[in-house]
Structure 1
Amino acid sequence: MSNRPLNSLRPTETLELESGLSLVPRVKLLLTVYRADKSVNPFDEWKFKRSLIDYIKSSFFITVPEEDLQIRKFKDLNKRKREEPVARGRLFVHDLGFLSKVIGETEDDVERADKKFLEWRRGFVEKLDGIELNLEGTKFKLNVAVPVSDDFEGMKKEWEEIIAFGARGYQRSAKMQPDTIVLKGMPSRWFAEIRVSSKPSMLVTHTIVSALGKIRNLHVAEDNSIGDDADEEDIVSGLHCKIVVRFEKHKDFYDALKILCGRSLQKQGSRLRADYDVTWDKDGFFLDARHQIEERKRMPARGMEERDGGHRQHSRVSQFSSEEGRKRFKE
């Protein structure tokens, strides 16, 4: 596991975690396909993929493997109006080695590297958005967008505006900063105790997530909800989990969220990647009395502590002890 400070990582660098996991950088884009002419010819997913892959290679000199471009047409095409989309998908660019020339190779200038990376991604999206592809005489238009969970600057602007205007229970004070991250779409088995259960473990999760900062509260449970850019057939009961982590300091929260945006979780020795959704907690998950009760029941007895956390008007939230958790996990 890497001991480097999170704020020293460049946008194209990998962060090593415990349990053979790592956060690998990538570019993820959401695609929406529309008809660009009056043709009623059927939409061919494979032909569209090949056409888009060829376009990206010839225009940007980027090679995208077929498995990194997912296109699915809507099932109710015969009921859709002409102006409605015919398909949607996701595009991943995992090999970012070519960006070393774009963002520079000076390791100590992280801020400049971040800026250059965002400029390149913005330009890449702008050039792809709105292109028309001709599939044997039938034209289709492509709309491209960066997922909300990859837009760190957008999330930062959102919480700054909420704090400034005192919305969602936040007081108008610079001291009231968000400290909780919500992760969805994580593989349950990667956070489970080997040979014990396939369900996510609080102990294992704490060991892995603690690499991102000092944890105040932690919640992990199976999650079968569907993300904004996921399809129902992608969701299988029990395979994914939801992780909610509250950090001791806003700085740890800030650095962790920035690292989690624009990366996928990968298991050592496997080509499988988890393209999770990440956001910040706007609703006070750990301040909700119902969740506090659930957390008390869920926390292992040896890993429990009680904490006021500066919110005496609420019931105390069960806290997982970092030191106790690590001892038990190593036994």
Structure 2
Amino acid sequence: MSAVATLRPTEPLPLPSGLSLAPRLKLLLTFIRADLSVRPVDEWQLKSTLLAFLRNPPLSLPALPDSDLSLRSLPDLHKRRRDEPIASGVLHVRDLSFLRPRSRKGDEEAEVMTPEQAEENYFQWRSSLVDKLAGIELNLEGVKFRMSVEIPPSDDFRAMKKSWENFYASELLSSRNPVRKIAKRPDTIVVRGVPSRWFAETRISSKASTLVTHTIFSAFGKIRNLNISSDDEWGAKQDGTNKDIISGLNCKVWVQFENYDDFNCAMKALCGRSLEKEGSRLKVDYEVNWDREGFFRNAQYKPVRSNLEERDSSAHGRKKHYTSRIDSDHRKRFRD
């Protein structure tokens, strides 16, 4: 059984090219007024009050740095109704080591926990934390705010798996042709918001390389098709303004696996993690989803060559060309 298939929610996953998937919990926070006050939002005071609540009992979240909580007030507060959000934020809980089995006093070995038990333990803790945070009121010098909490859809593997099961079950029931009533399952993941330079060839280009990207995602299983495109919309979405974003900073990747099990393991590993690179302090919160549009069925794309095929061709002295989907006119030659 592969390391991806037995991966626990609290364990990191090393990837090729110096990349790794670091476990973390990400929560989206929304604040509305809980009284009749019209005073503006003090972001610093709101953050300090919430951090104090998170670090003290009954939550006592361990090792929660200030940088893992970001808050910002929403624009045009004077135009918003009382039941509309006035501020939003993101909370990251990156230190999940307290959920891992610990050795008992006097014992040398830690308590053995199966991957299924570790997964259930993590989801129970996550649900408990969300329940404790949802609906709390924060009092800032007499001004009250009520907070709501949401798990990002791309971080909730169980909800996402249920969505594709319901999608294909509905598609099966709606089919009137008995011959076509064959149960289908997804096989393609879509990853957005990853830095192009992390998927590029070192010292050759800053654009994502098909070969490098194929090598990275092959850690999850056998790949049938792969496509890469620039994702400038993601940069504008994260920036939250209408400023011009430098093209090509982020990329969007479609990966079609040869079988459902590899697809399922990839989705499970990518949900609830951040992408990190050796030598960089950046922690990238990408967005992962499954392809319900049939990207590779609706377009003619040639399957990417596997590393094995590349080695075989190199042995015969032939040079191969790989074309990145980011720029179809840009071709690079890889020397044997």
TM-score by length of 1: 0.84
1:256-282 C-alpha deviation (Å, 9 max, x unpaired): 100000111001122211100001001
Q: In the superposition, relative to structure 1, how do residues 172 and 164 fare at CA in structure 2: closer, same or farther (>3 Å)?
A: farther
2:144 match: 139
Cα displacement (A) at 1:227: 8.6
User: In the aligned structure 2, how far is the partner of 1:169 from the partner of 1:207?
Assistant: 39
Counterpart amino acid of residue 242 in structure 1: K
The alpha carbon displacement at 1:165 in A equals 1.6
Whether contact under 8 Å (1:215, 1:246) holds in the other structure is yes
Distance in 1 separating the partners of 2:111 and 2:174: 42
Cα deviations by residue, 1:145-172 (Å, 9 ceiling, x for unpaired): 1110011111111111111121799864
After superposition, where does 1:95-110 map in structure 2 within 5 Å? 95-101=95-101, 109-110=114-115
Matches within 5 A, 1:156-235: 156-166=161-171, 172-174=181-183, 176-226=184-234, 230-233=238-241
Is the 8 Å Cα contact of residues 68 and 92 (structure 1) preserved in structure 2?
A: yes
1:266 aligns with: 276
1:5 shift after superposition: 2.6
1:237 positional shift: 3.4
Q: How does 1:51-62 map to 2 (within 5 A)?
A: 51-58=49-56, 59-62=58-61
Contact 2:192 2:234 in 1 (8 A): no
Corresponding residue number in structure 1 for 2:303? 319
What pairs with 1:65-144 in structure 2 (closer than 5 Å)? Answer: 65-101=65-101, 109-144=114-149
Q: Could you tell me which amino acid in structure 2 is paired with residue 160 of structure 1?
A: E
- Secondary structure, counterpart of 1:56 in structure 2: helix
Number of aligned residue pairs: give it: 301
Gaps of 5+ in 2: 105-109, 315-319, 321-333
Q: Aligned pair in 2 of structure 1 residues 199, 168: CA closer, same or farther (>3 Å)?
A: farther
Q: Which amino acid aligns with 1:126?
A: D
SS of corresponding position for 2:169: helix
> 1:229 & 1:132 partners in 2: Cα distance?
29
SS of structure 1 residue aligned to 2:219 = helix
Match of 1:275 in 2: 285
Equivalent position of 1:286 in the other structure: 296
Secondary structure in 1 matching 2:233: coil
Whichever of the two has the greater Rg, that structure is 2
Change (3 A) 1:107 1:269: farther
Q: Percent identity between the aligned chains?
A: 50
CA gap 1:271/1:212 in 2 versus in 1, 3 angstroms: same
Q: How much has 1:134 moved relative to structure 2?
A: 0.8
